[in-house]
Chains A and B, each alone.
Chain A
Amino acid sequence: MTNTLHRYGLAQSFRDDYILFAIPSKGRNDEGCIPKLKQFLRICIKYNPANIGNGNRGSLAPEKNLGPASHWKRLDRPSWEEVIEGVVKPGTVSAVFTTEEDATACFQEIVEADLGISVNISTSVENARQVGKSCHINRHSVEYALALSDPHDHLPNSQILSLSTMCGHGMVSFNMARKMLDMVREGRRTPAQVIATLTRLCPCGIYNPERARRLLEEARKEQR
């Protein structure tokens, strides 16, 4: 999931953003991997994830049969079971954590479970190194995200980029991030309502609602 690599922000901005994901390799370890992927997610939900995903849906998903009255009671509680039971084909499964303690404890149990599937951590370089060190696991390979190249000046400001790039597949548009940010600033939506909207748009379940909450609060105080 390069989906998780190019989140916008400095290393300090990823202090509450640890993504653990498991991915089978086609022709290498994809046979019989579904129970292992489900087990990976079952381990993850023990350690307070902010979101989990199976590549098709995250823990908050769009609802297709809303009624006019449902605007007062839209679901904003994550559904772990629907994500886990939705793992039906080999593919990436993931969980987002907001503290080093939760990410480390979860990774430790994943190591002990010995699933035989490749496991990656996507966060700052130092965060990942620290999680591995705490669990006595040496890194195998590392892929660094270089700064975005934008010579034609297409990109919006850092606040919009930070909110939008948490769905690396681009399903949270700049316009949506901007609108949500404005709605919070103008008091027309609460951060909780906005976060649920943004999280639902990311079908892989790697959007980090807690980091979004912090970014929104920071942006509300710092008008641009």
Chain B
Amino acid sequence: MPVCPMGAIYVDPGKNRAQINDDACVECGTCYRGMSTENLNPVLVRTIRRIAKWLKFRFEPEPDVCPTSAFDMNELEMPRLIRQIFSDPVVEHTSTGIKGRGTEEVKTNDVNPRVGTGEVGYTIEFGRPGVGVRFSDIQQMTRILAGNGVSFEKKNPITHLMTDVSTGDLRPDILNEKILSAIVEIKTHIDEVDEVLKIVHEVNQQIDTVIAIGISTRCDENGDDQTLAPLLEELGYSYSRAKTNMGLGRITNKINLNGSNV
């Protein structure tokens, strides 16, 4: 069924009913939440379809409508629950309180400085678009990055799942879980861009998924980026799209001098 981002829903020829491949399913909820529903009687729907098939009528259902409201979300427990947390964009990451991929990145760099002048932030996103990834594959990358001394962003859901940030090891109980996508966030000095990007591409050769890299920096007082963009061009990396923080944010929460909220 085309609605499933992982292709996990199929019609079993023996049963002649739709089935979900539990291992391929990432609990993203697209089938349950994203489809419109009709709440029709399943026996009636199947009978009409059988008659239409027998008469050789061409039958073309709406691909985003479930006529019998057949889908329901399971009550999940760890470790399978981790699939939903990382795959369903309307579910909040408990570690950061943020939905989607669970991180603010440089979207709030104007009020919550993560990447400063001379620094470069990386969002290394696994599994996207449309392929998915297992945590064991992500761990392969985090271990090698940790071995090269990079620092992982603390307010990031993957960092929260590390048992040891100095080695990049993730919780062993989740390693076989498959998710739609996840972002590893790191930061380095600008001199290390070439090396880090090479590492990411080399490791990607060993893990069977796609990777989307976002690379960020702080602009100067004139709003220009005279360091990272020229460097990327010099290194031969192309980019056409960007997310630009326009610097309109300011701190408005009441905060104690020690930094905690009052």
| A contact residues around B112 at 8 Å (CB) | 25, 27-28
Per the bound structure, the CA–CA distance linking A174 and B65 in Å amounts to 18
| A contact residues around B247 at 8 Å (CB) | 137-141
0/1 interface trace, chain A 1-15, chain B, CB 8 Å (1 if under): 111111111110110
A164 at interface (Cβ–Cβ under 8 A)?
A: yes
- A residues with a Cβ closer than 8 A to B are 1-11, 13-14, 21, 23-32, 55-56, 62-68, 70-71, 74, 91-92, 107, 110-111, 114-125, 128-129, 132, 137-152, 154-155, 161, 164-165, 168-176, 178-180, 188, 197, 200-201, 203-204
Partner of A144 from the list B33, B39, B232, B255 (CB cut-off 8 Å) is: B232
28 example contacts (A-B, Cβ-Cβ < 8 A) are as follows A2-B101, A2-B243, A14-B241, A26-B97, A56-B90, A62-B34, A63-B37, A116-B250, A119-B248, A120-B244, A122-B241, A125-B240, A125-B241, A129-B244, A140-B245, A142-B219, A144-B214, A144-B232, A145-B214, A146-B212, A146-B239, A149-B201, A151-B205, A154-B131, A154-B210, A170-B5, A171-B5, A178-B2
Partner of B3 from the list A170, A173, A204 (CB cut-off 8 Å) is: A173
| B contact residues around A119 at 8 Å (CB) | 245-246, 248-249
Query: Which 5 pairs from chain A and chain B are nearest by CB?
Result: A138-B223, A140-B247, A118-B249, A143-B216, A25-B108
0/1 interface trace, chain B 4-19, chain A, CB 8 Å (1 if under): 1111000000000000
Number of interface residues of B (CB under 8 A): 97
Consensus secondary structure, chain B interface: loop
For A33, the closest partner residue in chain B by CB is B252
For B180, the closest partner residue in chain A by CB is A170
Residue in A14, A110, A150 with the greatest tally of chain B CB atoms within 10 Å = A150
Q: Please tell me if the beta carbons of A29 and B249 are within 8 angstroms of each other in the complex.
A: yes
| B contact residues around A118 at 8 Å (CB) | 107-111, 245, 248-249
Per the bound structure, the CA–CA distance linking A60 and B215 in Å amounts to 32
Q: State which of B75-83, B121-129, B160-168, B169-177 sits at the interface with chain A.
A: B121-129
B115 at interface (Cβ–Cβ under 8 A)?
A: yes
